[in-house]
Amino acid sequence: MVLPVVVVIAVLVLYPLAQGVFFTFTNINEANIANPVLDRAATYIGVGFRNYAHVLSGDTSYGAFWSTLVRTLIWTFSCVFFHYVIGLGLALLLNREVRGRSVYRVLLILPWAVPAFISAFTWKYMFNAQYGIINQALRAVGVDNPPVWLGQNDWALVAVIIVNVWLGVPFMMVALLGGLQSIPGDLYEAAEVDGATPWQRFRHITLPGLRSVSSTVVLLGIIWTFNMFAIIYLITGPNPNTRILVTYAFERFFSGASRDYAIASTYGVLILSVLLVFAGVYRRALRKQGEVW
Amino acid sequence: MTLDASSLKVVRPDRVAHKRHERSRAASTALHATLAIASLIAVFPVFWVLVTSFKPDARAVETTPKLFNESSLDNYTRILSGDKGSFLTWFGNSVLIALMTTVVAVFLSATTGYAASRFRFPGKRTLMMSFLVVQMFPFAVLIVPLYNILLTLGLQGEQFGLVLVYCTTAVPFCTYMLKGYFDTVPTDIDEAGRVDGLSPFGVFWRLILPLAKPGLAVTAFYAFITAWGEVAFASAFLSAADESKTLAVGLQVFVQQNRTEWGHLAAASILVAIPAIAVFYLVQRFLVAGLASGAVKG
Say if residue B245's pLDDT is above 60: yes
Q: What is the pLDDT of residues A233-273, one digit of tens each?
A: 888 888 888 889 888 888 888 776 667 888 888 988 999 89
Give yes or no: residues A138 and A203 share one domain: yes
DSSP string covering A95-152: TS--TTHHHHHHHHHHHHHS-HHHHHHHHHHHT-TTT-HHHHHHHHTT-SS---TTSS
Count Cβ–Cβ pairs < 8 Å, chain A vs chain B.
Answer: 282
Mean pLDDT score of chain B: 78
> For a pLDDT cut of 90, what percent of chain B falls above it?
7
Q: How many domains does chain A have?
A: 2
Contact (CB<8Å) B31/A98: yes
CB of B256 within 8 Å of a chain A CB? The answer is: no
Q: How far apart are CA B116 and CA B126, in angstroms?
A: 11
Residue B220 pLDDT: 87
Q: Does residue B69 lie within any of the structural domains? A: no
CB atoms within 10 A of CB B73: 11
Is B59 contained in some domain?
no
Contacts of A109 in chain B (CB under 8 A): 42, 280, 284, 287
pLDDT at B247: 85
**Residue B245 and residue B286 in one domain:** yes
Residues 6+ apart with CB under 8 A from B223: B101, B102, B105, B106, B166, B170, B174
Report the distance separating Cα B268 and Cα B53, nearest Å.
Answer: 8
**Residue pLDDT, tens place only, B128-165:** 777 777 777 777 777 778 888 888 787 777 788 888 88
Checking if the pLDDT of B10 tops 70, the result is no
Give a yes or no: residue B61 inside a domain.
no
In this structure, are B15 and B117 located in the same domain? no
User: Cα A253 from chain centroid?
Assistant: 20
Query: Domain check: are B114 and B18 in the same one?
Result: no
Report if residue A55 sits inside a domain: no
In a domain, B134, yes or no: yes
Query: Could you report the per-residue pLDDT of B62-98, keeping only the tens digit for each?
Result: 777 777 777 778 888 888 887 777 888 888 888 899 9
**A125:B235 CB<8 A:** no
How distant, in Å, are the alpha carbons of A48, A56, A62 from that of A53? 10, 5, 10
**pLDDT (0 to 100) of residue A290:** 59
Answer whether residue A184 shows pLDDT above 80: yes
Task: Check whether residue B49 and residue B177 sit in a common domain.
Answer: no
| Average per-residue pLDDT for chain A | 85
Q: What is the pLDDT of residue A1?
A: 58
Q: Say whether pLDDT at B127 is over 90.
A: no
ipTM over 0.90: no
The candidate with the shortest Cα–Cα distance to A180, out of A208, A152, A217, is A208
The confidence score (pLDDT) of residue B14 equals 41
Contact of A174 with B288, CB cutoff 8 Å: yes
**Cβ-Cβ contacts under 8 Å, B273 against chain A:** 113-115, 118
Asked whether residue A56 is assigned to any structural domain, the reply reads no
- B266 contact residues in A (CB cutoff 8 A): 122, 125
Domain residues for the domain of B26 are 5-53
Question: Could you tell me the pTM of the whole model?
Answer: 0.82
User: pLDDT band at B293, cuts 50/70/90?
Assistant: low
B160 falls within a domain: yes
CB-CB contact of B235 with A254 (8 Å): yes
Of the pLDDT bands very low, low, confident and very high (cuts 50, 70, 90), residue B15 is: very low
Please, where are the H alpha helices in B61-86?
A: 74-80
Measure the CA–CA gap between A85 and A101, rounded to whole angstroms. Answer: 20
Rounded to an integer, what distance in angstroms lies between the CA atom of residue A47 and that of residue A26? 5
**Average of per-residue pLDDT across A134-158:** 86
pLDDT of residue A72: 93
Return left, alpha or beta for A58; rule: phi > 0 is left, psi -120 to 50 is alpha, else beta.
Answer: left
Rounded to whole angstroms, the Cα distance separating B225 from A231 reads 15
Round to the nearest angstrom and report the end-to-end CA distance of chain A. Answer: 26
Reported as a single tens digit per residue, the pLDDT across A15-38 is 888 888 888 898 888 777 777 777
Residue A214 burial (CB < 10 Å; 0-12/13-18/19+)?
buried
Average the pLDDT over A275-290 and give the result.
82
Residue B22 has pLDDT above 60, yes or no: no
In a mutational test of the A interface, the residue from B97, B141, B174 whose CB has the highest number of chain A CBs within 10 Å is B141
Report the pLDDT value the prediction gives residue A71, as an integer from 0 to 100.
Answer: 93
Residues B40 and B88 in one domain: no
- Band of the pLDDT at B23, cuts 50, 70, 90? low
Residue B263 identity (one-letter amino acid) = G
The predicted structure's pLDDT at residue B134 = 73
SS3 A26: strand
Residue B62 domain-assigned (yes or no): no
CATH number at residue B144: 1.10.3720.10
Q: State the smallest CA–CA distance between residue A154 and chain B in angstroms.
A: 23
pLDDT for the residue B122: 76
CA A104 to CA B31: how far, in whole Å?
Answer: 12
Instruction: Give the domain extent around A11.
Output: 1-48
Contact in structure between A34 and B152 (CB atoms under 8 Å): yes
pLDDT in tens, B199-233: 888 888 888 888 888 788 888 888 888 888 888 78
Q: What is the pLDDT of residue B103?
A: 92
| Cβ pair A229, B232 in contact under 8 A | yes
Q: How confident is the model at residue A70 (pLDDT cuts 50, 70, 90)?
A: very high
**Within a domain: B65:** no
Q: What angle do CA B167, A237, B262 make, to 5 degrees?
A: 95
3-state secondary structure A171-186: HHHHHHHHHHHCCCHH
* Whole-number pLDDT of residue A87: 94
CA dist B160 to A100, B100, B147, Å? Answer: 43, 8, 13
Q: Is pLDDT above 80 for B198?
A: yes
Q: What's at A190, amino acid-wise?
A: A
pLDDT value of position B101: 92
